[in-house]
Amino acid sequence: LNRDLEALRDEPCETLDGHRLALWVNTGLMADVSRSLERGAEGVGLYRTEVPFLLGERFPSEEEQRRIYRDQLEAFAPKPVTMRTLDVGGDKALPYFPIEEENPFLGWRGIRVTLDHPEILLAQVRAMLKANAGLGNLRIMLPMITNIAELEEALVLIRRSHQEVAQEGLDSPMPPVGVMVEVPAAVYQAAALARRVDFLSVGSNDLTQYLLAVDRNNPRVSDLYHALHPAVLAALEAVVQGGHSEGKQVSICGELAGDPLAAVLLLGMGFDVLSMNATSLPRVKKALRSVTRAEAEALVAEVRGLDDSARIRRRLEDLLNDRG
Ligand code: PEP
Ligand code: MG
């Protein structure tokens, strides 16, 4: 990390005209924690709980999970930590829980698995709530939500876990709950989803994959994975609009948030939180501190008129080159 970027650690992420934007990090391993704090993260927008599940040889017990979650929450307290419920399937397979499918990305993954196995979700949420006792910085987030019924079912299970923890005599507050918007259907239902929860968070990695029908891991089609595709940008704007129409926080936790060029657009679109890899944070902060919010909004309006990803990227590069 060069000096110039290091010096930004304790500076707020504030635009030239004084608009504050929250820069959070994505974590999974304990090693991510120190890197995140060193770089001045203000919270965790995505803690991938499947990471500790992937490291073991069987499902971790509720108590094992509680200890792992406690370490995360304690390391960042009082900063918020957004824990995503288990997101396996797709490209993430647990060795002790094999899923064989022709089309794993369209199959049994994320919330679909844990709603079919409520005992997994209940134990996980109980572990999170127990870990949160006395701290209060937990937020819970649900992956791969595709329809309202899934969300309502998951909310019932979260409330049930909360009651069970209370019955065990533990006083743990009900945390904010949010939905990941990473399936195109959820974009069109952003307001309806937001009405039922406390926040939305765009998973742009999966959302881009599903909007463009391009496998995010297949090198043969990787040149078609256009993170700045006009359709992706239109979807992002729609999610902000939907979430804000219900007065809810809208964040983004896909790789896009860690791209300084894209971050300026996300600012202009009105995202409240950008959550990224700790490594990207200083560069994103630098880019956002070099523009005004009005400029970023004008850029969004201008880019709306461009119908090709390459042209959009060139326009953004020109802007940031101007700012050094
Ligand atoms: C995403 O899909 O953008 C996301 C943040 O989740 P993951 O990369 O873990 O699927
Ligand atoms: Mg995802």
Beta bridge partners of residue 202, listed in sequence order: 181, 252
The alpha carbon of 179 and the centre of ligand 2 are apart by a number of angstroms equal to: 11
Q: Which ligand is nearest to the CA of 46?
A: 1
The pLDDT value given to residue 179: 98
Q: Is the pLDDT of residue 313 over 70?
A: yes
Global pTM value: 0.97
49-84 burial code (b ≥16 CB/10 A, e <16) = bbebbeeeeebbeeeebbebbbebbebbeebbbbbb
Q: Which atom of ligand 1 is closest in space to residue 202's alpha carbon?
A: 3
The pLDDT value given to residue 1: 63
Which among 206, 215, 255, 276 is the best mutation to test ligand 1's pocket, defined by most ligand atoms within 8 Å of the CB? 206
Which amino acid is located at 26 in the chain? N
The pLDDT assigned to 91 comes to: 86
230-245 and 260-269 helices, crossing angle to 10°: 40
Q: Which whole number is the average pLDDT over 151-177?
A: 97
pLDDT band at 323 (very low <50, low <70, confident <90, very high): confident
Residue with tokens 């005209």: 17
Establish whether residue 206 lines the binding site of ligand 1, counting it when its CB lies within 6 angstroms of any ligand atom.
yes
CA of 205 to the centre of ligand 2 (A): 6
The answer, yes or no, to whether residue 124 has pLDDT greater than 80, is: yes
Distance from the alpha carbon of residue 296 to the mean position of ligand 1, in angstroms: 25
Q: 2 pLDDT band (50/70/90 cuts)? A: confident
Which tens digits make up the pLDDT trace of 42-101?
A: 999 999 999 999 988 999 999 999 999 999 999 999 999 999 999 999 988 899 999 999
Which residues neighbour 86 within 8 Å (Cβ) at sequence distance 6 or greater?
A: 49, 50, 53, 113, 114, 120, 121, 124
| Protein residue with least CA distance to atom 4, ligand 1 | 203
Query: Long-range contacts: 3-9, Cβ < 8 Å, 24+?
Result: 4/286, 5/282, 5/283, 5/286, 6/282, 8/40, 8/282, 8/285, 8/286, 8/289, 9/38, 9/39, 9/40, 9/282
For the record, the structure tokens of 118 come out as: 């409520």
Q: Is the CB of 182 under 6 A from ligand 1?
A: yes
- Give mean pLDDT, residues 104-124: 97
Does 50 sit in the ligand 1 pocket, CB within 6 Å?
A: no
Ligand 1 atom with the shortest distance to the CA of 90: 10
Q: For residue 80, say if its preceding peptide bond is cis, omega within 30 degrees of 0.
A: no
What is the interface pTM, i.e. ipTM, of the complex?
A: 0.99
Share of the chain above pLDDT 90, in %: 92
pLDDT number for residue 5:
80
Per-residue model confidence (pLDDT) at position 209: 98
pLDDT of res. 322:
81
Ligand 1 atom with minimal separation from the 253 CA = 5
End-to-end CA distance of the chain: 17
For residue 141 and ligand 1, the question of a CB distance below 6 A is answered with no
Residue nearest atom 9 of ligand 1, based on CA coordinates: 48
- Mark out the alpha helices in 138-259 (DSSP H runs): 148-167, 184-188, 190-196, 204-212, 230-245
Our mutation pick for probing the ligand 1 site, out of 82, 112, 142, 180, counting the most ligand atoms within 8 A of Cβ, is: 180
Distance CA 214, CA 206 (A): 10
What's the 181 CA to ligand 2 centre distance in angstroms? 9
Question: Is residue 273 pLDDT above 90, yes or no?
Answer: yes
Q: What is the pLDDT of residue 241?
A: 98
Nearest one of 5, 1, 76, 4 to 41, comparing CA atoms: 76
| Separation CA 112–CA 28 (nearest Å) | 21
Mean of the per-residue pLDDT values for the chain? 96
Q: In this structure, which ligand is nearest to the CA of 201? A: 1
Residue 40 to residue 320: CA distance in whole angstroms:
23
The pLDDT assigned to 324 comes to 65
DSSP 292-320: -HHHHHHHHHHHHT---HHHHHHHHHHHH
- DSSP label of 14: B
What is the per-residue DSSP string for 84-141?
Answer: EP---BTTB-BTTB----S-GGGSS-THHHHHHSHHHHHHHHHHHHHHHTTT--EEEE
Residue 21 pLDDT > 90:
yes
Q: What is the pLDDT of residue 60?
A: 97
Atom of ligand 1 nearest to the CA of 255: 3
The position carrying tokens 């050094």 is 324
Across the range 272-292, mean pLDDT stands at 96
pLDDT given at position 285? 97
**pLDDT of 8:** 86
The protein residue whose alpha carbon is closest to atom 8 in ligand 1 is 205
HSE-up of residue 29 (Cα within 13 Å, Cβ side): 7
CB neighbour list of residue 10: distance below 8 Å, 6 or more residues apart: 40
Q: Is the CB of 144 under 6 A from ligand 1?
A: no
Atom of ligand 1 nearest to the CA of 201: 5
pLDDT at 162 over 70: yes
